[in-house]
């Protein structure tokens, strides 16, 4: 069977030269070749196993490792030593069945989850698990390159950037899947007026609200949804000074057809092009645009056996994502051929 997943692109933050002139790929390769007690880290999984300093029972380690010469492909496995698993017993036609917790068989551990990663140069492609995320990879790489192998001298940081300059990666993110328009509503600030002065304070506030509405479409949306200017005014007045009221309108397409014509969403994107960037969020096939920031990702259907993704098919999908981003000018090519 195949499972829909998403490949997330990240890149090592090399500002300040944390790896002393090396790429992440080069530093990882040297770290895995480093020896502990005469044994290379690449040759013994237990020497690649990191204990969580806050909970020593939680472990992370690189299990499968493939070095092609122009990329490193690996999976990061999480387990908790001694963790039990709940199981139910099928006992026939009874009102309820017993549920108990059991230890793993001797010499085995129940896994928490597994992340797949490909590193080429400073490019990082990740298939996350619900229990093993990109920040776990950051912690692990810092430990592997520093404390465990001694390849990179402290202090240093491993930061895998996930947001990039929109101008650098461009606006073409494939088929538009949804468009969100929103942002903070302009505040209504009306000076206190002495009722003895003959001015109608309520009328002054609503008049001011009307002035904002002509410039801020979000006020008009709120008036429609909440039942008029007075309701909106009342809500805005009750906000704390440091609070903002936000409005989010998401446009998507739901259809029973197998293929979706997304030209309507492209029309929305074009029509909203003059809104402030902070008010517009575009979700496309290959990532998300929000304001002047972009996040890159790539959809894939990967072979799986229940919860376990087929690692060879994950590698195929990641290389496909790398080549797509290079061909579209989103990232620069490394030694990994773009064809």
Q: Name every residue whose Cβ is closer than 8 Å to that of residue 262 and which is 6 or more positions away in sequence.
A: 175, 176, 177, 253
Mean pLDDT is highest, among 142-151, 223-232, 293-302, 326-335, for: 142-151
Give the count of beta carbons closer than 10 Å to the beta carbon of residue 320.
13
* pLDDT at residue number 211: 42
- 186 pLDDT higher than 60: no
* pLDDT at residue number 134: 95
* pLDDT at residue number 204: 44
For the chain, strand residue ranges (E) read 2-12, 35-36, 39-40, 49-51, 58-67, 72-80, 85-88, 99-102, 111-120, 123-127, 160-161, 164-165, 176-184, 246-252, 280-284, 287-290, 293-305, 308-309
- Across the chain, what does the average pLDDT equal? 82
Percent of the chain at pLDDT > 70 equals 73
pLDDT band at residue 59, thresholds of 50, 70 and 90?
A: very high
Write the pLDDT tens digit of every residue in 91-143.
889 999 999 999 999 999 999 999 999 999 999 999 999 899 999 999 999 99
Q: Which structure tokens are listed for 105? A: 């068989």
**Do 281 and 288 contact (CB within 8 A), yes or no?**
yes
Q: How many angstroms separate the CA atoms of 71 and 287, rounded?
A: 23
* pLDDT at residue number 191: 47
* pLDDT at residue number 205: 43
* pLDDT at residue number 332: 93
List residues bridging with 120 in a β-sheet. 123
Cα(first)–Cα(last) distance of the chain, in Å? 27
* pLDDT at residue number 115: 97
- 196 pLDDT higher than 60: no
Q: Report the pLDDT averaged over residues 184-200.
A: 52
List residues bridging with 288 in a β-sheet. 283, 295
- Does the reported pTM lie above 0.75? no
Task: Specify the DSSP class assigned to residue 254.
Answer: -
Task: Specify the DSSP class assigned to residue 198.
Answer: T
* 77/198: higher pLDDT: 77
Task: Return the ∠ at Cα 164 (arms to 62 and 289), rounded to 5°.
Answer: 110
Task: Return the ∠ at Cα 234 (arms to 229 and 239), rounded to 5°.
Answer: 125
* 79/91: higher pLDDT: 79
Strands 99-102 and 111-120: unpaired
* 90/241: higher pLDDT: 90
- 212 pLDDT higher than 60: no
* pLDDT at residue number 336: 86
**Do 92 and 54 contact (CB within 8 A), yes or no?**
no
Q: How many angstroms separate the CA atoms of 285 and 298, rounded?
A: 7
**CA nearest to 70, candidates 29, 13, 112, 30:** 29
Cα 243 to its chain centre, rounded Å, is 26
Write the pLDDT tens digit of every residue in 239-273.
777 777 777 776 666 665 555 555 665 665 565 55
* pLDDT at residue number 245: 72
**CA nearest to 238, candidates 226, 224, 220:** 226
Instruction: Please identify which residue in the block is written with the tokens 């492909």.
Output: 73
């Amino acid at each position: 069977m195949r499972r829909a997943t998403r490949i997330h692109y990240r890149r090592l933050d090399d500002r300040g030269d944390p790896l002393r002139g090396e790429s992440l790929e080069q530093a990882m390769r040297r770290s895995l070749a480093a020896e502990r007690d005469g044994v290379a880290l690449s040759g013994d999984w237990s020497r690649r196993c990191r204990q969580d300093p806050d909970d020593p029972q939680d472990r992370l380690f690189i299990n499968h490792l493939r070095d092609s010469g122009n990329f490193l492909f690996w999976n990061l496995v999480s387990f908790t030593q001694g963790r039990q698993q709940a199981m139910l017993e099928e006992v026939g036609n009874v009102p309820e069945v017993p549920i108990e917790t059991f230890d793993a068989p001797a010499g085995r551990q129940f896994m928490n989850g597994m992340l797949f990663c490909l590193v080429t140069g400073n490019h990082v492609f990740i298939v996350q698990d619900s229990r093993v995320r990109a920040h776990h990879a950051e912690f692990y790489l810092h430990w592997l390159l520093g404390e465990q192998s001694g390849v990179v001298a402290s202090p240093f940081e491993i930061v895998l950037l996930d947001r990039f300059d929109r101008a650098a990666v461009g606006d073409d993110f494939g088929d538009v899947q949804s468009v969100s328009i929103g942002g903070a509503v302009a505040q209504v600030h009306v000076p206190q007026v002495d009722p003895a002065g003959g001015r109608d304070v309520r009328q002054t506030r609503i008049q001011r609200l009307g002035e904002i509405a002509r410039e801020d479409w979000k006020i008009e949306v709120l008036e429609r949804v909440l039942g008029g200017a007075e309701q909106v005014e009342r809500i805005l007045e009750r906000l704390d000074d440091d609070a903002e009221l936000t409005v989010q309108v998401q446009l998507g397409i739901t259809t029973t057809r197998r293929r979706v014509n997304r030209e309507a969403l492209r029309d929305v994107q074009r029509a909203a092009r003059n809104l402030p960037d902070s008010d517009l969020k575009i979700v496309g096939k290959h990532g998300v645009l929000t304001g002047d920031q972009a996040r890159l990702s790539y959809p894939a259907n990967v072979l799986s056996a229940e919860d376990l993704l087929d690692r060879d098919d994950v590698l195929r999908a990641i290389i496909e994502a790398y080549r797509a981003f290079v061909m579209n000018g989103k990232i620069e090519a490394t030694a990994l051929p773009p064809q």
